[in-house]
Amino acid sequence: MEIRYAIGQQETKLMDTASLRAHFLIQSLMLPNKLTLVYTHYDRMIVGGVVPVNEIISLTNPHELRANYFLERREMGVINVGGAGFVIAGKEKFVLNKLDGLYIGKGTEEVQFGSLDSTHPALFYILSAPAHQTYPISLCTAANAAPVSMGAQQTSNKRTIYKYIHQQGIQSCQLVMGLTILEEGNVWNSMPPHTHSRRMEVYFYFDVTDTARVMHFLGTSEETRHIVVANNEAVLSPPWSTHFGCGTMHYGFIWGMAGENLAYTDMDPITMDVLK
């Protein structure tokens, strides 16, 4: 498991492109028949990816956790962005089609991932945060995620938001998780921009074509930086950082947060006139 340490505003201000990518961009998350994990010191979130092509892959227990098993003191959210697959958790098998989500609570000792068709394998994206109590394992399909439309064609940010793990949905200790799909002809996400210093966030971009890219913006409102992001890559967003993006065509992204506030609407807005 790779370890990423927290970076402050002043350090970020002085970084070049290579340093920004090394600290904030997570690549190679979706590798065939592999489990990939990255531990960040921003609210101790773990970001992961699993692609079970022709094998069933078990959730390992990295020695850095100093735990008896991965979810001994943690909770986890899983969203599938590939072909149909399944997750075995708590001795129960859950089938996840594309965009379906699963919450796995603290105390679940064994978790396994598999695909229903090796020619079109599942792509499981994982977020895990520390947990202080146990909530039940819960499946939420995309159809049941209460999609909400936002934005407008005129501002190139018409999009649909799907909420999975949140206060009015699947309950958790501190994990909040869902995804956003931009409609065709729309490219801006999370506009107008904002911060929320009470929690960190991770953006995972998917359905980005081979010839397309997303420009993800981070940093403070008056010292923005950008990272060029390809398909199935994630960006860490510190609690102090703004986070929004613009693609060369429409795409989807999974947003996930951890911290001391579960309220999805807890945001500090940034007006366009202060962005630099």
How would you write the chain as a 3-class SS string?
A: CEEECCCCHHHHHCCCHHHHHHHHEECCCCCECCEEEEEECCCCCEEEEEECCCCCEECCCCHHHCCCCCCCCEEEEEEECCCCEEEEECCEEEEECCCCEEEECCCCCCEEEEECCCCCCCCEEEEEEECCCCCCCEEECHHHCCCEEECCHHHCCCEEEEEEECCCCECCCCCEEEEEEECCCCCEECCCCEECCCEEEEEEEECCCCCCCEEEEEEECCEEEEEEECCCEEEEECCCCCCEEEECCCCEEEEEEEECCCCCCCCEECCHHHCC
* Domain extent at residue 172: 2-274
* pTM of the model as a whole: 0.95
Q: How many domains does the chain have?
A: 1
Check residue 171 and give its pLDDT. 96
Q: What is the CATH number of the domain that holds 92?
A: 2.60.120.10
| Pairing of the two strands 2-4 and 35-40 | parallel
pLDDT reported for residue 262: 76
Tens-digit pLDDT string for the chain (276 aa): 999 999 999 999 999 999 999 999 999 999 999 999 999 999 999 999 999 999 999 999 999 999 999 999 999 999 999 999 999 998 899 999 999 999 999 999 999 999 999 999 999 999 999 999 999 999 999 989 879 999 999 999 999 999 999 988 999 999 999 999 999 999 999 888 888 888 899 999 999 999 999 999 999 999 999 999 999 999 999 999 999 999 999 999 999 999 887 777 777 888 888 889
